[in-house]
Amino acid sequence: MAELLRLEGVHTHIGQYHILQGVDLVVPEGELTMLLGRNGAGKTTTLRTIMGMWRASAGELGLAGTDLRPLATPDIARLGVGYVPENMGVFAALTVRENMLLAARDGAMDESRLEWIFSLFPALKKFWGLPAGNLSGGQKQMLSIARAMIEPRRLILIDEPSKGLAPAIVDALIEAMRELKRTATTILMVEQNFRMAQALGDGVAVMDDGRVVHAGRMAELAADPALQARLLGLSLGAHQ
Amino acid sequence: MTDQTSDASIPSPPLADRLKAQAPYWTVPGLAVLGLVLIADASTWGTLTLAGLAMGMLIFIMASGLTLVFGLMDVLNFGHGAFISIGAFVGATVLLALTGWTGADSLALNLGAVLLAIVAAMLATGGLGWFFERVIIKPVYGAHLKQILVTMGGLIVAEELIHLFWGPNQIPLPRPEMLKGSWVAGGVIVEKYRVLAVVLGAAIFIGLRWSLVHTRLGLLIRAGVENGEMVEALGYRVRRLFVLVFVAGSALAGLGGVMWGLYDEIITAQMGLNILVLVFIVVIIGGLGSVEGCFIGALLVGLMANYTGFLAPKVALGSNILLMVVILMWRPRGLLPAGKG
């Protein structure tokens, strides 16, 4: 499988803190790559560095041959990168419709794509004209993911979609993400919920202390409890 | 998706919460009724209320740009006062050159002269706003203390430039012929110029609100005020949007300057700084970043100043500070704060 995104020796400093300390990561085209690791390992910072929200202080950062390092966040988004942040980034004062309208950058939403999204997330259709601030946590997460889906994207970065959601809603999210995977969209997803990671991941990278310490196939990691215990430690059991 | 999520409906909030959310909209009628009770004379109250609304509308025109500038980029711009003064001086220059039009007994010619003065002032302050943003604001994004110092400095430089170009003296600015005087209806004195101010202010409020709600640019501004980083992640250049808002806000300050100059019938280089205090009070009362809140705040300040000026002239000097204290004790983030949490 051709590689779409490549990070080589990426370092990121936030103020005086040295967060990413040489991240090497390859995201193959058309796959869902899971980024796992304990809190503070640098997963969110990796996504934010790819998006240009934090600047990489050293290393290579390329999307299909385009160097991302000199680009500003809007220009990276315009290359076809969708971003679903950890806090969901939903505009609470705007209606669900307006949130979606902004995500469709050319100003018009594709009807058939919208119908597809409604079939995955019926709640969005139901609350179409209401301020997004009125939605529940799960519904906000759906809106945030739907924004990334309203246009075809080359790469979608999703930061811990299951965070704080009830198990039934996580199941629903897994179903929706499976549907998104059928479109062969390339996805890089940060997750702490191993059940979700196991259900969706093709490839996996595990981070610790600002580096990727393991990269391989998700199925292999899922089948190897000893490796899981070594890489993810006790936190794994707590999330299952 | 499972039933659990699709059926999760949004319950209608309890009545108390709904009333609480509506409360800011009732402050203006509330203050007006309180004024009527305390003044106890309908015609005096009518005169003062109209004067208060006119003053409020003018403050709103000047404050609306500032609240968006703060909401969108967290920029504290004390230089806003400079645009008010410069707008007034440019407008006055046009009006004093058009004495043939302003002195004529024709409403059309009078309004034409005011309109020309407004257009000239807005062009000058809009252009100056662009320059100000590029040269003074751009290097200090994200640093509030530096913003205060550097924009204060810009304000002082602008005041001195006014002295240089227009001389050190204040300039009397008579209103055009047909806008002088007043009508009396049922004991209520209706100053003609105040009617113009109310109409213009209301038109600007409606226009601004309409473009914020119904245009794509407005959508981007509202989203940017709430979460600029996410707007960028969706592929929009928030910086460019900000320059546009800054220029528009500066032009509105210039427009407000002309109108305020005609309201006071005298202009000085310091007028911008004096009004800026009111403008900041209004922006804070309204909730940073909110055009609606700013509108309500401006009307409250206008009414309060006029009512207390009549009831207790000594209190009037501090009445707006008092208003701000009361509102912030009730709602620490202002009446209708924009999304930023």
Report CB contact under 8 Å: A169, B5: yes
| pLDDT range class, residue B12, cuts 50, 70, 90 | low
Residue B308 has phi, psi (to 5 degrees) of -70, -30
Within 10 A of B251 (CB to CB), how many other CB atoms are there?
25
Rounded to whole angstroms, the Cα distance separating B108 from A33 reads 70
Beta strands (DSSP E) in chain B are 171-172, 182-185, 188-191, 266-267
Q: Please answer whether residues B294 and B60 qualify as being in contact, where contact means their C-beta atoms are separated by less than 8 angstroms.
A: yes
Strand partners for B188? B185
pLDDT tens, position by position, A163-187: 988 898 899 899 999 999 999 899 9
Report CB contact under 8 Å: A77, B10: no
Q: Among all residues of chain A, which has the CA nearest to that of B237?
A: A74
Residue B265 has phi, psi (to 5 degrees) of 60, 20
**pLDDT for the residue A27:** 96
Q: Report all structural domains of chain A as residue ranges with CATH numbers, in order of start.
A: 3-80+153-239 (3.40.50.300), 91-152 (no CATH)
Burial of B135 (0-12, 13-18, 19+ CB in 10 A): exposed
- Does the complex come out with an ipTM higher than 0.85? yes
Chain B residues with a Cβ under 8 Å from any Cβ in chain A: 1-2, 4-6, 8-10, 216, 219-220, 222-223, 226-227, 229-238, 338-339
Amino acid residing at B218: G
| pLDDT range class, residue A105, cuts 50, 70, 90 | confident
| Mutation target among B1, B6, B217, B221 for the A interface, most CBs of A within 10 A | B1
| pLDDT range class, residue B10, cuts 50, 70, 90 | low
pLDDT at A235 over 50: no
Chain A residues with a Cβ under 8 Å from any Cβ in chain B: 51, 53, 72-74, 77-78, 83, 85, 89, 91-94, 98, 101-103, 105, 107, 120-123, 126-127, 130, 133-136, 138-139, 142, 147, 166, 168-169, 171-172, 175-176
Q: What is the dihedral of CA A214, A217, A222, A224, to 10 degrees?
A: -60
Lowest mean pLDDT among A200-214, A220-234, B12-26, B54-68: B12-26
- Token pair belonging to A232: 């993810």
Which among B299, B220, B323, B279 has a CA at the least distance from the CA of B62? Answer: B279
Q: What is the mean pLDDT of chain A?
A: 91
pLDDT at A238 over 70: no
**pLDDT for the residue A25:** 96
Give the one of A72, A134, A172 whose C-beta lies nearest to B1's C-beta: A172
Report CB contact under 8 Å: A89, B10: no
B160 Cα distance to chain centroid? 24
**pLDDT for the residue B52:** 95
Q: Which helix (H) or strand (E) holds A158?
A: strand A155-159
Contacts of B230 in chain A (CB under 8 A): 85, 89, 91
Burial A41-65 (b: 16+ CB within 10 A, else e): bbbbbbbbbbbbbbebeebebebee
Report CB contact under 8 Å: B338, A93: yes
Nearest-Cα distance to chain A for B141, in Å, is 16
Burial of B118 (0-12, 13-18, 19+ CB in 10 A): buried
Report CB contact under 8 Å: B226, A91: yes
Q: Please answer whether residues A66 and A84 qualify as being in contact, where contact means their C-beta atoms are separated by less than 8 angstroms.
A: no
**pLDDT for the residue B339:** 59
Rounded to whole angstroms, the Cα distance separating B79 from A21 reads 43
Strands A186-190 and A155-159: parallel
Residue B130 has phi, psi (to 5 degrees) of -60, -45
CA atoms within 13 A on the CB side of A179: 17
pLDDT at B8 over 70: no
pLDDT tens, position by position, B284-316: 999 988 899 999 999 999 999 999 999 999 888
Give the one of A93, A126, A142 whose C-beta lies nearest to B226's C-beta: A93
Percent of chain A clearing pLDDT 90 (strictly above): 78
Provide DSSP, B86-139.
Answer: HHHHHHHHHHHHTHHHHTSS-HHHHHHHHHHHHHHHHHHHHHHHHHHIIIIIGG
- Mean pLDDT for A79-97 is 94
Burial of B207 (0-12, 13-18, 19+ CB in 10 A): exposed
Tokens 């302003």 belong to residue: B102
Rounded to whole angstroms, the Cα distance separating B10 from B26 reads 26
| pLDDT range class, residue A1, cuts 50, 70, 90 | low
Lowest mean pLDDT among A11-15, A47-51, A83-87, B64-68: B64-68
**pLDDT for the residue B11:** 59
pLDDT tens, position by position, B128-170: 999 999 999 988 888 889 999 999 999 999 999 999 999 999 9
Q: Report all structural domains of chain B as residue ranges with CATH numbers, in order of start.
A: 41-330 (1.10.3470)
| pLDDT range class, residue B17, cuts 50, 70, 90 | confident
Report CB contact under 8 Å: B1, A74: no
